[in-house]
Amino acid sequence: MGEVAAKIRVMPESTETDLEALKQRVRDVLPEGVRLHAFSLEPIAFGLKALIVVVILADAEGGTEGVEKAIAGLDGVESVNVVEVGLL
């Protein structure tokens, strides 16, 4: 079984959301077997920035569903969308 890299856009609830604290909470809730590869910020509009999370996980049934649910359950998260998935 191979691995995939998934790029996930995490939209904060507001411009007031502490993105550094959100990064730490994302690290803490990643399911077992999922490795964090990188974070970046994407400007959206009017000072709002999305947190881009890149993770490496097994190419298995269910894919990114567990990661999406874990991140979506965090305080300060408005929405979670997978932007891109590719085989490694």
CATH label of the domain that carries residue 51:
3.30.70.60
pTM of the model: 0.93
Distance (Å, whole) CA 88 – CA 78: 29
pLDDT of the residue at 30: 96
Domain count, the chain: 1
pLDDT of the residue at 60: 86
List CB contacts of 73: < 8 A, sequence separation 6 or more.
Answer: 29
pLDDT of the residue at 10: 98
Long-range contacts at 44-48 (CB < 8 A, ≥ 24 apart): 44/11, 46/15, 47/15, 48/11, 48/12, 48/14, 48/15
pLDDT of the residue at 1: 72
Identify the domain containing residue 40 by its residue range: 3-87
pLDDT 10s digits, 42-66: 999 999 999 999 999 999 888 899 9
Single-letter code of the amino acid located at 54:
V
Beta bridge partners of 86: 5
Smallest Cα–Cα separation from 7: which of 56, 42, 43?
56
- Tell me which residues of the chain have a pLDDT lower than 50: none
User: Strand order in 48-58's β-sheet?
Assistant: 35-45, 48-58, 3-12, 77-87
